[in-house]
Structure 1
């Protein structure tokens, strides 16, 4: 995985020599980072963002990143455009192999079949060098947890349709409604 300088919560973890118990990483976004996250993901605001991750060795040369991302966000309701507050809690889990790993080469470049279960874990990603951007990884899981169609409680499409009935159907009827009485 390459370093993502676009990620406001980018955090490079050195995976060259990981401790036996793993490398704990905690990312607590400050006000500027939260504002940038809101802008990048089309949110009204990000009130709180925290990622707790553990980077551990996996297999021979691989790396496993696990943990969670928590956030409090504000979005606009898709019906009323009023603010909708949401809480995100998403589990983070990813596997990485060095780009030159034999296991990585055989699985991805040998031209053979790779069997993946739809409900199973994702296949490992490759990385170059001694670092992995675990902050950008946490942001990916944050993005996946955002509700693409937030609704304010009690808001339904019937409200929007009722409001639309008050508007005349044809453009000419709308123009005549704008016409001032003589």
Structure 2
């Protein structure tokens, strides 16, 4: 069950000035985020920003996320520590442009625009931003991939060179060229 302390009801936000927030999760919430994102550890998390009105009906969230995460190395499983510093921007629109059935449209590549919800869960936004900022393949500085070959006992293991799709064709071409030079 997620701790939800930082939820803003849009109807309660002031229409004339920005609403500031500064979230520094406590130990229990850090543990939940660590488990949810399958991290080894999470520390020094801060999510600070503002939710500001745009016009009469829309809202913009701008913030900065800082966090120190520890993930297992994809090669050695050794802990890899990464410092994350990300600027976050979300635009919440009361009315999104309508899409008519059957017509062709160009997809908007702006992934910061969302439909305006009744509440803004800043904890969820923090977790989503952190998840998107995590390194996909964390690797320790001294980690190196080595070649591993697996096969049945008594058989020759297939190597990377054996798996190259045109390696066999190159040797066949060389053999044919050699044969045609000797028979002429």
Asked if these proteins are the same fold (TM beyond 0.5), I'd say yes
CA 1:93–1:79 in structure 2 vs 1: closer, same or farther (change >3 Å)?
same
CA 1:115–1:68 in structure 2 vs 1: closer, same or farther (change >3 Å)?
farther
**Alignment root-mean-square deviation, CA:** 2.6
**TM-score normalised by the chain length of structure 1:** 0.72
**TM-score normalised by the chain length of structure 2:** 0.71
Separation in 1 of the partners of 2:153 and 2:65? 49
Partner of residue 180, structure 1:
none
Separation in 2 of the partners of 1:56 and 1:141? 19
State whether residues 69 and 92 of structure 1, in contact with CA within 8 Å, keep that contact through their aligned partners in structure 2: yes
Separation in 2 of the partners of 1:8 and 1:155? 37
Partner of residue 75, structure 2:
79
| Larger RCO, structures 1/2 (Cα 8 Å, 6+ apart) | 1
Separation in 2 of the partners of 1:51 and 1:108? 33
Counterpart secondary structure, 2:30: helix
Separation in 2 of the partners of 1:123 and 1:37? 22
* 1:70-122: CA deviation from partner (whole Å, max 9, x where unpaired): 11011000101100011111111001123xx4xx2xx134456655564xx33
Partner of residue 13, structure 1:
8
How many residues align? The count is 153
Separation in 1 of the partners of 2:68 and 2:141? 17
CA-CA distance at 1:69 after TM superposition: 0.9
Counterpart secondary structure, 1:136: helix
Partner of residue 152, structure 2:
170
CA-CA distance at 1:154 after TM superposition: 2.3
Gaps of 5+ in 1: 1-5, 174-182
> Aligned pair 1:91/2:87, yes or no?
yes
* 1:17-44: CA deviation from partner (whole Å, max 9, x where unpaired): 3263300011111111111111111110
CA-CA distance at 1:7 after TM superposition: 5.0
Gaps of 5+ in 2: 156-184
> Aligned pair 1:122/2:111, yes or no?
yes
